[in-house]
């Protein structure tokens, strides 16, 4: 069973290490531990722990800045828990509804085919493209 919970600061080092696992490759921009710590204390950002059957399997970073919109800034699944992304996205949508958000958006590098396939599977649509850090980015959205 997949569950989400508000992260605790003691989990930040685990999140940092997950972000450096080989399967992540170039899918994410590298962040330093200090950035994780700063974001954790930002009132507009929420780190959430992803648990599978009671074991930490990944994390999310959400931005709550806009009234009706939720920005999924980062999703990282631990190497040992690959394959739970679909369930995690459904949990994120349920969480967004609890917060009275009716729209989720995210961005993903265009060469991250695995993530794009997952987002399209749950009916996110690419509404724009851009360049970030010299790489093409797709912006996805979904009304919930």
Could you give the 3-state DSSP secondary structure of residue 15?
helix
Largest CA distance in the chain: 39
The total domain count for the chain is: 1
pLDDT over 80 at 26, yes or no: no
Rounded to whole angstroms, what are the CA distances from 106 to 8, 13, 14? 23, 24, 23
Residue 133 phi, psi dihedral angles, 5° rounding: 55, 35
Question: If residue 90 lies in a helix (H) or strand (E), which one and from where to where?
Answer: helix 85-98
Distance, CA of 114 to CA of 57 (rounded, Å): 18
Q: What is the pLDDT of residues 86-138, one digit of tens each?
A: 999 999 999 999 999 999 999 999 999 999 999 999 999 999 999 998 999 99
Could you give the 3-state DSSP secondary structure of residue 31?
coil
Residues 6+ apart with CB under 8 A from 78: 18, 21, 56, 57, 58
Which CATH number covers residue 103? 3.40.630.30
Q: What is the pLDDT of residues 30-53, one digit of tens each?
A: 788 899 899 999 999 999 999 999
pTM, full prediction: 0.91
Enclosing domain of residue 60 = 2-143
């Amino acid at each position: 069973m997949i569950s989400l919970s508000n992260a605790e600061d003691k989990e930040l080092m685990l999140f940092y290490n997950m972000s450096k696992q080989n399967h992540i490759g170039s899918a994410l921009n590298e962040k330093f531990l200090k950035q994780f710590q700063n974001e954790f204390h930002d009132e507009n950002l929420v780190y959430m722990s992803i648990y599978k059957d009671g074991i930490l399997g990944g994390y999310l970073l959400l931005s709550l800045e806009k009234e009706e919109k939720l920005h999924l800034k980062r999703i990282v699944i631990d190497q040992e828990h690959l394959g739970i992304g679909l369930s995690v996205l459904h949990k994120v949508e349920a969480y967004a509804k609890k917060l009275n958000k009716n729209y989720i958006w995210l961005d993903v590098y265009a060469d991250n085919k695995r993530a794009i396939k997952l987002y399209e599977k749950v009916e996110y649509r690419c509404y724009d493209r851009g360049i970030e850090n010299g790489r093409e980015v797709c912006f996805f959205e979904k009304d919930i």
